[in-house]
């Protein structure tokens, strides 16, 4: 190992990176776009507001009061539909998925019930809906719950069963807080894997590696400078992602040395895999394809985007064999749950994997040609 040689390599690589604008874009902009896109989707799920069309055929004070109550529940944004139009046609023509109809005679039935205590008096609210819309079922469920609440209130009795929600976490976390560590793990994986594969196949194809093999640089120097370079890129990329997450989504994440440790492990693991791939795939294009074949399943199966609890049992078992799963879980353990013991466990699993892959990677890296 020679520090002068490693730093010389690092300078050349970072200079090339700085001058190659598309690499900059891929490293910094791509993860940020992912965070912005998915973050926006998840944020809106945390704070849902449905659009609801209401057609009031009764046109009385009481029916207007009922619509007001729906609006005040906070879940719905109400659009009032002209009583003269056909609700079914309205659904089709305006591409809404649901119209709630308050029937004529709402107020008179209500009066009958409230003043005369006539329990036979009731009204039927109609939902005109489009079953092909995916969110309409949820919307109707929520509506039912709101209507049940209104019914209960009218009865004048206090409810018997009440509920209270207690989170397992001491602080309040949102889905975005779980999502950001997953994106960090995934971006670092992609950077390290593709960075290693692209750089090495390109330099080998162009003959730069052959030239280097006639200088005092050793295989270890070359690999270590590669790792260091990928680590620096990973840190830059992570900082960019965290800044955006804090600024746009006000995430609530705990940052300590574990973050750096897991980034480093992530880099080692996937630079190692990249080195093994480079050995077996000769052309730059097929190398990129091979890297894709490895990173795509990893991205979707190891819980970067959504919790693996949502997947069938055998896929969950498969997920636990993937290195990225342990990086994801480790990062969440440290950044979300602040659970050092769990972080240590996950880091040990990925650590063992790193040692094995890395040794294989060093063996696989060919320096001299034509044995």
Helix (H) or strand (E) holding 174, with range, is none
Name which position in 8, 111, 260, 360 contacts another protein (CB under 8 A): 8
Does residue 92 touch another protein according to CB under 8 A?
Answer: no
Q: Which CB sits closer to another protein, 172 or 371?
A: 371
Beta bridge partners of residue 51, listed in sequence order: 77
Binding mask 20-49 for another protein (x = CB under 8 A): x-----------------------------
CB of 240 to another protein, least distance (A): 22
Name which position in 120, 162, 172, 371 contacts another protein (CB under 8 A): 371
Separation CA 268–CA 281 (nearest Å) = 20
CB of 27 to another protein, least distance (A): 15
The region of 13-21, 189-197, 316-324, 350-358 touching another protein under the rule CB under 8 A is 13-21
Separation CA 224–CA 230 (nearest Å) = 10
Could you tell me if 168 and 178 are in contact, meaning their C-beta atoms sit under 8 angstroms apart?
no
Angle, alpha carbons 38-191-293 (nearest 5°): 85
Q: Which CB sits closer to another protein, 12 or 33?
A: 12
Binding mask 182-211 for another protein (x = CB under 8 A): ------------------------xxx-xx
Q: Which CB sits closer to another protein, 45 or 205?
A: 205
The region of 2-10, 46-54, 228-236, 325-333 touching another protein under the rule CB under 8 A is 2-10
Q: Could you tell me the CA-to-CA distances from 86 to 157, 206, 347 in Å, in that order? A: 38, 71, 62
CB of 10 to another protein, least distance (A): 11
3-state secondary structure of 3: helix
CB of 6 to another protein, least distance (A): 10
Name which position in 156, 216, 312, 313 contacts another protein (CB under 8 A): 216
Does residue 370 touch another protein according to CB under 8 A?
Answer: yes
Does residue 162 touch another protein according to CB under 8 A?
Answer: no
With tokens 């912005």, the residue in question is: 36
Separation CA 351–CA 323 (nearest Å) = 10
Separation CA 348–CA 160 (nearest Å) = 50
Separation CA 275–CA 212 (nearest Å) = 17
Q: Which CB sits closer to another protein, 22 or 155?
A: 22
Separation CA 50–CA 76 (nearest Å) = 5
Separation CA 139–CA 77 (nearest Å) = 12
CB neighbour class for 211 (10 Å; exposed up to 12, middle 13-18, buried from 19): exposed
Name which position in 15, 122, 141, 317 contacts another protein (CB under 8 A): 15
- Of 272, 248, 290, whose CA–CA distance to 354 is shortest? 272
Name which position in 5, 100, 102, 223 contacts another protein (CB under 8 A): 5
CB of 229 to another protein, least distance (A): 13
Residues that bind another protein (CB under 8 A): 2, 4-5, 8, 11-12, 15-16, 19-20, 206-208, 210-217, 368-371
């Amino acid at each position: 190992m020679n520090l002068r040689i490693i730093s010389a390599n690092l300078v050349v690589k970072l200079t090339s990176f700085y001058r190659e604008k598309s690499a900059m874009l891929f490293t910094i902009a791509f993860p940020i776009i992912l965070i912005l896109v998915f973050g926006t989707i998840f944020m809106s799920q945390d704070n849902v507001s449905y659009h609801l069309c209401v057609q009031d055929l009764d046109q009385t004070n009481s029916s207007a009061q009922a619509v007001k109550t729906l609006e005040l529940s906070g879940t719905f944004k109400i659009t009032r539909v002209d009583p003269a139009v056909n609700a079914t046609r309205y659904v089709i023509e305006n591409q809404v998925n649901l119209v709630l109809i308050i029937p004529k005679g709402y107020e008179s039935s209500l009066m009958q019930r409230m003043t005369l205590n006539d329990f036979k008096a009731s009204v039927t609210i109609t939902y005109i809906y489009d079953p092909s819309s995916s969110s309409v079922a949820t919307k109707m469920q929520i509506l039912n719950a709101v209507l049940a609440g209104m019914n209960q209130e009218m009865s004048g009795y206090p409810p018997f069963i009440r509920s209270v929600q207690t989170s397992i976490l001491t602080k309040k976390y949102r889905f975005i807080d779980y999502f950001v560590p997953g994106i960090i793990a995934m971006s670092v994986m992609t950077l390290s894997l593709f960075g290693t594969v692209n750089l090495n196949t390109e330099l080998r194809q162009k003959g730069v590696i052959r030239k280097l093999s006639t200088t005092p640089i050793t295989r270890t120097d070359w690999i270590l400078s590669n790792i260091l370079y990928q680590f620096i890129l990973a840190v830059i990329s992570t900082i960019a992602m965290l800044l955006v997450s804090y600024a746009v989504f006000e995430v609530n994440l705990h940052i300590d040395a574990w973050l750096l440790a897991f980034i480093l492990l992530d880099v080692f693991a996937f630079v190692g895999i990249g080195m093994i791939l480079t050995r077996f795939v000769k052309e730059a294009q097929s190398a990129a394809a091979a890297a894709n074949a490895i990173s795509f399943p990893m991205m979707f199966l190891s819980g970067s985007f959504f919790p693996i609890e949502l997947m069938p049992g055998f896929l969950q078992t498969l997920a636990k064999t993937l290195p990225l799963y342990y990086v994801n879980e480790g990062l969440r353990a440290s950044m979300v749950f602040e659970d050092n013991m769990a972080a240590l466990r996950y880091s040990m699993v990925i650590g063992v994997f790193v040692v094995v892959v890395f040794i294989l990677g060093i063996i696989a890296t060919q320096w001299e040609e034509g044995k």
